[in-house]
Structure 1
């Protein structure tokens, strides 16, 4: 395939524009959800990271989120005060400051309720595609996510 053809460039540009629109809309949605549960957007992002990859230590959260450890401390304080997470000391750690952070699952229903409309809308969107098409879309989104990780890491190292 010749990627220098004008039609390919136009379609690639259309995909990038659509991703920008999606990013913007998801940011707005996250902002609304976070506001409903009295969190900051970044708090909700970190809660999601902990839920998907946890239990994690604060430095691992900072690394995954691309945040300064002191910033993560403030986020974890808010999440803990809101009853979203628990911090537990590692019993076998030689450093008394070593803790792991876990999501408290008793608040999941609250979040699931707020995401229910979006999940239902996504089910409707996905219903219009075949399993093969959904596999292709999921692969594209995973590769796009990885490209985002790489670009974020490159910015962090400069």
Structure 2
């Protein structure tokens, strides 16, 4: 941490509290947005979360999706069944898998436009908001958000153990 990072006492604590409060509000707002998107697509929150993971990280085994989502494998089976019935994912035999029963799950690319369309308003708002920041400020935001995500991952893992 830089020497300036430790100064400011009361002001620093106030700003730190404001950041934490804003992150909680952001979390709530994004959860509400995701619920609305899921509702438009007839997907449960957990289904949308798993679809996002599969779409972002590419084809993976059901156990890998469960691990990334923090779900029990039995729960994952139900999620994947619903996503497959809805035409959102396909399960395919993994020719490189450890045995012939190995399966990978991949998102159906033809359906991704439906999801992107529902997030278009938020993405447009984010583009407008980010246009007001310099490259140096954006680098600080990227660093902060990555470190915040890592802290969240660590906290989640700690609670799971």
**Fold shared per TM-score above 0.5:** yes
TM, length-normalised to structure 1:
0.95
* CA RMSD after TM alignment: 1.3
Q: Whole-Å Cα distance in 2 between the matches of residues 48 and 126 of structure 1?
A: 23
Report SS of the residue matched to 1:101: strand
Deviates most, 19-28 or 132-141: 132-141
Partner of 1:51: 55
Is this contact kept in 2: 1:33–1:114, CA < 8 A? Answer: yes
1:126 matched to 2:140? The reply is no
Runs of 4+ in 1 over 3 A off after TM superposition: 92-97
Residue segments in structure 2 that go unaligned for 5+ positions in a row? none
Shift of 1:4: 7.8
Is this contact kept in 2: 1:50–1:56, CA < 8 A? Answer: yes
Shift of 1:112: 1.2
1:143 matched to 2:143? The reply is no
Matched length? 157
Is this contact kept in 2: 1:85–1:101, CA < 8 A? Answer: yes
TM, length-normalised to structure 2:
0.93
